[in-house]
């Protein structure tokens, strides 16, 4: 009975809500809200939480004998190519390793919350797998709650150094490394080469040449005409993770932070003069009407915005655009900073075989996996060696993305209060875009996050 | 004194009763497992600090969650938004549904076509409808602003304006939901005997008088049913703001159920979310009971 109680627990809340109102479909968010996890495929999936067994993985080597270990693994399903690649790599792992068999389950990720709902449910029921994919900023929550285990004792120094800093930063909580990911993400400033040529504007080609905010604003104003915007910030993705992912570098590059270094408070950080100033700049972009609050899905690809601060997936969707485009580094105030973070793997504390689980994690994030995944998704790889092996990262426009990932990438804050913190920042960013009083909104949001942080202080 | 009939398994009636209970069993089981048990558990959680990441430590904290609700500005805003939505949607949707029912009750050509057309939004998924209307409301390229433009009205921000977002959701919700109540009203209209209208004709009543004194009284029971179901449905507003505005701009479309969902699943605070769900349930229940009492008294 106790087991049943536990199993049913996660259902309770939703049903309690339904009971109050007599049944309700739950809906996913519109596409694009998952800034970091999704690559080129932002398609909405109406189904939620469906579990798809990987047919191929089943055909792998059967577990035999006493030495053989079977590991359960959960992966989020995003684009078809990306998921197929994961399945292929797991099959290869099973072929190479006689003593470890990985049983992978692909769980639908609609870009909203269905994957994390599944993880939450399994967590409460106490049946998480040995290894699971999780979004970078959520590593801290899981580490704090002792749900995932430190991999410090398994990883070699040499291997650790091959990962780009931001991936290690993303996976580290309280000085210990908990997660590794195969792909990074970044946000370059895309630009329409045809328009730039017409207007006679030279685009910076390296971090050293990156525009400051003032130059950026000036160009954006110059490029804005009656029938096109100077800039697209993809506000159509909605008030969600995207705004933190894309928007936080404005704060960091102004020497601001979202949270104190020890992670205990946001007061004096989220509402610091630096943060206020950077959101004031965002506000100016909207007041000057160089950017739209409601851009169409393909505004940049259709040539209706001259520049765009967009994810690597924009390079994929702009492939068919009928103009030449390029990438520029993210504009800055004091120090160049750029967005970072993506899905990573964690090993659960429930796992009886953490060592074997790490072998799987290492395999899924090794050079070959990293390169393969980058080729399939267009997302930048998480390893220096992969960048070196992939020729196109040596040339424009991709060299801009490489430089950002290896030099200016900044991980989002590692705090167990992240879900509330990111919503607080996204709300403030959106309020700035609406022309509200930035300082007042930030102070309100500070109260919210402080309340959440108190939960972790005992 | 009322004497109760006593059933025994030996009698035919007793056996029938037992069979009846067996038929009930599957429904009762499902209801118990998926409704009553979770409701009970949510009630229990509302007195604990249940946090998803620490499922092992559910501490009893008394009324702390409920005290927190009192000082929670987000809860108050969500409550205000939900009440605003309900108070506007209920009368508008009833009026539109009744209007449509009267229209399609006429002996028109293409009657079936119109009925189907008005009813079709009901069978569409609310998620799909919400996404479609998001496109239609787009200030730059949306259908609605294009049409307003033809009338010389400047483009409206709709979903990105704190003043217009909720009203935009109300319009879309009425469009989506009214077809269902239209069908119920239609059934009610067809149940009003023709001889009442004939009698009214003989008395010299005009169309308006007939509507007021024959049609409306004839729809009284059905109206009560529709009134209560729309009210309850309006309180459960979730999908539209979740998809169209994510509760924004500036929290102007954050509904109570959406707020509960966010706190429970995104912020993992099941204890607090359960407490809000309990308060919400009590609220909806109270309003429903008051509605019943008021409407009954009117019928006197």
Same domain as A116, residue A94: yes
Tell me the two tokens of residue B141.
């390229």
In total, how many domains does chain B have? 1
Closest chain A residue to the Cα of B234, Cα to Cα: A21
pLDDT tens-digit series, residues B4-14: 556 566 778 88
Q: Taking CB atoms and an 8 Å cutoff, what residues of chain A touch B73?
A: 444
- Per-residue model confidence (pLDDT) at position B9: 67
Residues A48 and B37: their CA atoms lie apart, in Å, by 23
Same domain as A261, residue A218: yes
Which among B33, B53, B284 has the least Cβ separation from residue A20? B284
Helices in A163-270 by DSSP H: which ranges?
165-171, 193-199, 213-223, 241-252
Q: Is residue B291 part of a domain?
A: yes
Assign residue A247 the CATH number of its domain.
3.40.190.10
Which among A12, A30, A293 has the least Cβ separation from residue B42? A12
- Per-residue model confidence (pLDDT) at position A112: 62
Q: Taking CB atoms and an 8 Å cutoff, what residues of chain A touch B130?
A: 27
Same domain as A161, residue A107: yes
Assign residue B84 the CATH number of its domain.
1.10.3720.10
Q: Is residue A411 part of a domain?
A: no
Task: For residue A66, give every residue at least 6 positions away whose Cβ sits within 8 Å of its Cβ, in sequence order, or none.
Answer: none
Residue predicted with more confidence, A1 or A210: A210
Report yes or no: B239 and B127 within 8 Å, Cβ to Cβ. yes
Same domain as A440, residue A312: yes
Q: Is residue A404 part of a domain?
A: no
Q: What is the mean pLDDT of residues A421-446?
A: 95
Same domain as A447, residue A325: yes
Range of the domain at A305: 189-339+417-454
* Smallest Cα distance from A141 to chain B, Å: 8
pLDDT tens-digit series, residues B196-226: 999 998 988 888 888 888 898 889 888 888 9
Identify the DSSP state of B156. Answer: P
Residues A274 and B241: their CA atoms lie apart, in Å, by 32
Same domain as A439, residue A333: yes
Q: Give the A window 124-153 contacts with B, CB below 8 Å.
A: 124, 126, 141-142, 144-145, 147
Report yes or no: A345 and A226 within 8 Å, Cβ to Cβ. no
pLDDT tens-digit series, residues A52-64: 444 444 444 444 4
pLDDT tens-digit series, residues A142-170: 999 899 999 999 999 999 999 999 999 99
Q: Is residue B15 part of a domain?
A: no
Neighbours of B11 (CB within 10 A): 12
Same domain as A152, residue A12: yes
Tell me the two tokens of residue A370.
């990293």
Instruction: Say yes or no: B14 contacts chain A, CB-CB below 8 A.
Output: no
- Per-residue model confidence (pLDDT) at position A6: 38
Instruction: Say yes or no: A44 contacts chain B, CB-CB below 8 A.
Output: yes
Same domain as A176, residue A53: yes
Residues A424 and A435: their CA atoms lie apart, in Å, by 17
Worst-scoring range by mean pLDDT, A87-101, A110-124, B53-67? A110-124
- Per-residue model confidence (pLDDT) at position A65: 47
Q: Is residue B102 part of a domain?
A: yes
Q: Give the B window 94-133 contacts with A, CB below 8 Å.
A: 125-127, 130-131
Q: Reply yes or no on whether the pLDDT at A224 is more than 50.
A: yes
Helices in chain B by DSSP H: which ranges?
12-31, 37-45, 64-70, 73-105, 111-123, 126-137, 143-150, 165-191, 194-202, 207-210, 216-218, 220-235, 239-244, 256-261, 270-299
A19 with B35: Cβ contact below 8 A: yes
Q: Taking CB atoms and an 8 Å cutoff, what residues of chain A touch B69?
A: none
B160 with A46: Cβ contact below 8 A: no
Q: Taking CB atoms and an 8 Å cutoff, what residues of chain A touch B274?
A: 12-13, 16
Q: Is residue B17 part of a domain?
A: no
- Per-residue model confidence (pLDDT) at position A118: 86
Range of the domain at B249: 69-299
Radius of gyration of chain A (CA): 22
Worst-scoring range by mean pLDDT, A113-117, A287-291, B276-280? A113-117
Identify the DSSP state of B160. Answer: G
Q: Is residue B38 part of a domain?
A: no
Portion of chain A with pLDDT greater than 90, in percent: 72
Q: Reply yes or no on whether the pLDDT at B255 is more than 80.
A: yes
Same domain as A439, residue A306: yes
In total, how many domains does chain A have? 2
Tell me the two tokens of residue A384.
């220096």
Closest chain A residue to the Cα of B268, Cα to Cα: A120
Same domain as A279, residue A176: no
Residues A79 and A376: their CA atoms lie apart, in Å, by 10
Instruction: Say yes or no: A210 contacts chain B, CB-CB below 8 A.
Output: no
Q: Is residue B56 part of a domain?
A: no
Worst-scoring range by mean pLDDT, A113-122, A373-382, B268-277? A113-122
Q: Is residue B59 part of a domain?
A: no
Which among B35, B274, B284 has the least Cβ separation from residue A13? B274
- Per-residue model confidence (pLDDT) at position A12: 41
Q: Reply yes or no on whether the pLDDT at A66 is more than 60.
A: no
ipTM of the complex: 0.82
Distance of CA A270 to the CA centre of its chain: 20
Which among B160, B257, B266 has the least Cβ separation from residue A293? B160
User: Phi/psi at A457 (nearest 5 deg)?
Assistant: -100, 5
């Amino acid at each position: 009975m106790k087991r049943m109680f536990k199993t049913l627990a996660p259902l309770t809340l939703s049903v309690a809500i339904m009971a109050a109102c007599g049944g309700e479909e739950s809906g996913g968010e519109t596409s694009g809200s998952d800034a970091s996890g999704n690559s080129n495929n932002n398609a909405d999936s109406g189904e939620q939480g469906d579990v798809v067994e990987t047919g191929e993985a089943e055909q792998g080597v059967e577990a035999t004998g006493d030495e053989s270990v079977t590991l359960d693994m959960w992966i989020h399903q995003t684009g078809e190519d990306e998921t197929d690649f994961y399945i292929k790599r797991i099959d290869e792992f099973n072929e190479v390793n006689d003593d470890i068999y990985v049983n992978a389950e692909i769980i639908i990720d609609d870009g909203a919350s269905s994957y994390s709902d599944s993880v939450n449910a399994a967590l409460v029921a106490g049946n998480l797998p040995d290894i699971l994919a999780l979004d970078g900023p959520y590593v801290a929550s899981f580490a704090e709650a002792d749900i995932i285990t430190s991999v410090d004792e398994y990883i070699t120094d040499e291997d650790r150094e091959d990962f780009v800093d931001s991936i290690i930063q993303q996976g580290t909580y309280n000085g210990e490394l908990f997660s590794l990911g195969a792909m990074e993400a970044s946000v370059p400033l895309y630009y329409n080469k045809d328009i730039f040529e017409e207007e006679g504007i030279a685009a910076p080609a390296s971090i050293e040449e990156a525009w400051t905010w003032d130059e950026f604003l000036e160009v954006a104003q110059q490029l804005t005409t009656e029938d096109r915007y100077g800039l697209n910030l993809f506000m159509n993705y909605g008030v969600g993770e995207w705004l933190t992912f894309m928007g936080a570098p404005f704060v960091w590059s102004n020497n601001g932070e979202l949270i104190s270094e020890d992670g205990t408070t946001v007061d004096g950080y989220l509402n610091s003069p630096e943060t206020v100033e950077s959101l004031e700049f965002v506000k100016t972009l909207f007041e000057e009407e160089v950017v739209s609050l409601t851009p169409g899905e393909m505004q940049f690809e259709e040539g209706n915005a001259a520049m765009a601060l967009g994810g690597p997936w924009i390079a994929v969707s702009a492939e068919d655009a009928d103009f030449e485009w390029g990438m520029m580094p993210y504009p800055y105030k004091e120090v160049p900073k750029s967005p970072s973070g993506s899905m990573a793997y964690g090993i659960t504390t429930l796992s009886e075989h953490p060592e074997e689980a790490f072998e799987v994690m290492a395999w899924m994030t090794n050079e070959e996996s990293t390169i393969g995944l980058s080729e399939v998704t267009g997302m930048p790889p998480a390893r220096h060696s992969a960048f070196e092996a992939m020729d196109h990262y040596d040339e424009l426009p991709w060299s801009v993305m490489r430089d950002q990932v290896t030099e200016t990438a900044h991980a989002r804050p590692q705090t167990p209060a992240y879900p509330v913190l990111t919503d607080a920042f996204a709300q403030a960013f959106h309020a700035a875009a609406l022309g509200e009083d930035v300082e007042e909104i930030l102070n309100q949001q500070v109260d919210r996050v402080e309340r959440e942080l108190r939960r972790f202080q005992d | 004194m009322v004497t109760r009939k006593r059933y025994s398994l030996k009698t035919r009636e007793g056996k029938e009763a037992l069979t009846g209970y067996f038929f009930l069993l599957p429904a009762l089981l499902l209801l118990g497992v998926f409704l009553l048990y979770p409701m009970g558990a949510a009630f229990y959680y509302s007195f604990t600090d249940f946090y998803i990441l620490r499922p092992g430590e559910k501490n009893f904290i008394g009324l702390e969650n409920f005290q927190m609700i009192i000082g929670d500005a987000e809860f108050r805003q969500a409550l205000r938004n939900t009440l605003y939505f309900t108070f506007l949607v209920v009368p508008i949707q009833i009026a539109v549904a009744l209007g449509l029912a009267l229209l399609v009750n006429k002996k028109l050509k293409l009657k079936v076509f119109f009925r189907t057309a008005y009813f079709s939004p009901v069978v569409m998924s609310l998620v799909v409808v919400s996404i479609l209307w998001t496109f239609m409301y787009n200030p730059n390229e949306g259908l609605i602003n294009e049409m307003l433009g033809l009338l010389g009205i400047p483009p409206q921000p709709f979903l990105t304006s704190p003043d217009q977002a909720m009203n935009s959701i109300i319009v879309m919700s009425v469009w989506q939901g009214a077809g269902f109540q239209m069908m119920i009203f239609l059934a009610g209209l067809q149940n009003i005997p023709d001889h009442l209208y004939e009698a009214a004709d003989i008395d010299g009543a005009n169309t308006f008088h007939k509507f007021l004194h024959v049609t409306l009284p004839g729809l009284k029971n059905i109206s009560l049913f529709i009134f209560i179901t729309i009210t309850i449905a309006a309180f459960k507003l979730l999908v539209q703001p979740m998809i169209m505005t994510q509760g924004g701009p500036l929290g102007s479309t954050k509904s109570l159920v959406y707020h509960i969902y966010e706190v429970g699943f995104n912020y993992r605070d099941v204890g607090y979310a359960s407490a809000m769900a309990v308060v919400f349930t009590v609220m909806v229940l109270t309003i429903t009971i008051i509605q019943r009492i008021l409407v009954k008294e009117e019928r006197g």
